[in-house]
Amino acid sequence: MAEGALSGKVVVIVGATSGMGLSAARACLAEGGKVVGVGPPETPESLASELGPEARIVRGDARDSATARDAVRQALQAFGAFHALYHVAGGSGRSFGDAALHELSDEGWDETLRLNLTSAFYSNRAAVEQFRRQGGGGSVLNMASVSAYSFSPRHFGTHAYATAKAAVIGLTRAAAARYAPEGIRFNALAPGLVETPMSRRAVSDEAIRAYVARKQPLDGGRPGTPADVDGAAVFFLSDASRFVTGQVLAVDGGWSVTEAG
């Protein structure tokens, strides 16, 4: 993939103000792209200045159907174009009551799916609406997880989260099939354990870190960093992946192919 892979591209990143989304925003800017990032209402004013003149920040709740549409409008107003969407927003539902099935509360189920699946539906729909209006295709990249298909019940037994991420994969592949004739591509990333604000519980637990050292054996058996995911994100958002759709790429340090006790 050549340097400047996103030169001339305008990318909307939903969930761009922390963790993997913020790292991706910086990577897209470094590759010559322009970025409209969506973050929560409490996002500091200073972040837009920190990212530079080729970035804009839209404050809003990804669980609100208007937020992604507003971000797409902002992209068109600020930069005159819209080429790609990266949906990163989501997170743990433990605080709502997500758990194993026999312990999972109604609120835990509903709120975890709203945070991780409904938000992705809203942003994917907003992207498709605009791509179809303007013609010429586009790229949608969704954030899934190895939790969707490679399970670790002892340490990561949150069933609403696993369900939501599996559904994100289903949405991605169904949309890829439907919109391929229009040149609109849909792909997903499935990270393993990555050090972000969401994973603070896991990475600070000695037993889980020992487990991850066996389960993600690449590069010394460590949790991933957001930067480990950036290269794959840039690939899917750029024209380098113009002949790729409906794919789910594990960026997981070997998690999904490794047996660990």
Please name each of the domains of the chain with its CATH number: 10-194+227-251 (3.40.50.720)
Supply the residues annotated as catalytic: 161
Per-residue confidence (pLDDT) for residue 261, from 0 to 100:
59
- pLDDT given for residue 205 in this prediction: 80
pLDDT of residue 196: 80
Determine the pLDDT at residue 141.
99
Identify the pLDDT of residue 7: 97
- Per DSSP, 224 falls in state B
Using a 10 angstrom Cβ sphere, with 0-12 exposed, 13-18 middle and 19 or more buried, the burial of residue 220 is exposed
**Mean pLDDT per 10-residue section of the chain, whose length is 261 residues:** 90 96 98 97 90 96 98 98 98 95 98 98 98 97 97 92 98 98 98 84 82 92 95 98 98 92 59
**Contact between residue 96 and residue 108 where contact means Cβ atoms under 8 Å apart:** yes
Q: Could you tell me whether strands 138-143 and 84-87 are parallel, antiparallel, or unpaired per DSSP bridges?
A: parallel
What dihedral angle (degrees, nearest 10) is formed by the CA atoms of 169, 171, 175, 177?
Answer: 50
